[in-house]
Homo-oligomer: A and B are copies of this chain.
Amino acid sequence: MADRDATSFFISKLQRSYREVRGRSIELARPLTAEDQCIQSMPDASPTKWHLAHTTWFFETVVLMKHVAGYVPFNEKYQYLFNSYYEALGPRHARPMRGLLSRPSVEDVHRYRHHVDEAMLRLIATADVGTLSQLEPIIVLGLNHEQQHQELLLTDILHAFSCNPMRPAYASVPAVHADEDIPGEIRPVQWLRQAGGVLDIGFGGQAFAFDNESPRHKVLLRPYEIADHLVSNGEFADFVADGGYERPEFWLSDGWAMVQREGLKAPAYWIATAEPAGAPCCLRVWEEFGLQGRHPLVSTAAVCHISFYEAAAYAEWSGARLPTEFEWEAAFHAPGIQHMTGHVWQWTRSSYDPYPGFRPLPGVAAEYNGKFMVGQQVLRGGSIATPKGHTRPTYRNFFPPATRWQFSGVRLVRDI
């Protein structure tokens, strides 16, 4: 009987998680029109509608089609349309052309979600314990996958709106984390001393974590100091005003090439305002475009939408450096440290390499993380757009160093 209770608790917890996560995707899309949900502003971004369908495709393909006898796919063509990058699951619609899919409509995609959700909830409710304990990891992976796309949905629509001269606001304070803890003033950095030594890094628990956080292993760190808070807009504006984007000595070579090639002058969504044409960098006044629309730059908020190159150049200018991902993880619980999650993802000086002994998940999920382990930098933490509860201290986010459309910022460390 205890067993039956445990099983039914397990089932109802899984059902609740499934409903919550799936429901939140719909919530996030609610402020958007059908047209908003259709557009793709660059190859790296995807339409809202595509995110809604692709996360559904994941459950259909990886769970239902493999584990439910007689399951009939909602639409055969969706297998092709909504595969992202899984070579083992067949050919797929070219990524840069996702924005041309006016059909299926948003309503079709909602119907698709409904169809799959019903089948998934039925499976969870009716599967025997053995099956369920086998399926639970892949279902939880699917939910974490969907949470990742929830953040992408926001970063992608923000980029799309930034391309529209009307500058529409996504405008949904409740849809994202409250920002109430933005400090009222810029405080000097407190440098928190960390002893280093041989430390355990990576995930070692029983709950869910991505394969790239494993295996937990020992890393040898030298002593260092870490900033108690994130670099703020105001601090970054000092770098800009000091000619930060005009002085190659602060930049990695690839970063300087990007600054020159794309004419960068400030973080991605900063807008120079009220400046005479050709005003020098020290006289510019900035506004920022964000999910709430266009507004004056908030000096005390964390600087956001910067590439790894800009983070590294800022660190060089300031006389400090970026943390490695190990230093960041080791300081997660340091007394006095603030804003480790919930504000901006924090670029680290670590390339996205496999941990010693890393092996990808078996089966389809093998393509989830491992095959991207080259040419990217690790970000740690989590942003205002990250679903609550999605990240962990060991969580490894990763993007190419030129990436600017994510909610990415910077925290500094120093050698002792």
Q: Residue-by-residue, is A200-228 near B (CB-CB < 8 Å gives 1, otherwise 0)?
A: 00000000000000000111111000000
Least Cβ–Cβ distance between A264 and chain B, in angstroms: 16
Least Cβ–Cβ distance between A271 and chain B, in angstroms: 15
Q: A87-B248, A100-B160, A102-B39 are in contact. Are A375 and B401 (CB under 8 A)?
A: yes
Task: Return chain B residues, CB-CB under 8 Å to A99.
Answer: 39, 99
Task: Return chain B residues, CB-CB under 8 Å to A97.
Answer: 163
**Cβ-defined contact, A39 with B38, below 8 A:** yes
Is A103 interfacial (CB-CB < 8 Å)? Answer: yes
Is A15 interfacial (CB-CB < 8 Å)? Answer: no
Task: Return chain B residues, CB-CB under 8 Å to A248.
Answer: 87-88
Residues of A74-93 whose CB lies within 8 A of B? 77, 80-81, 85, 87-88, 93
Is A194 interfacial (CB-CB < 8 Å)? Answer: no
Q: Which segment, of A63-71, A178-186, A296-304, A366-374, faces chain B?
A: A366-374
**Cβ-defined contact, B253 with A372, below 8 A:** yes
Q: Which of B103, B164, B255, B375 contacts A102 (CB 8 A)?
A: B164
24 interchain pairs, CB-CB under 8 A: A34-B35, A35-B35, A35-B37, A35-B38, A38-B102, A39-B100, A77-B165, A77-B166, A80-B165, A81-B166, A87-B249, A87-B256, A100-B160, A101-B164, A101-B166, A219-B220, A222-B357, A252-B372, A252-B374, A253-B371, A349-B354, A351-B351, A374-B401, A375-B401
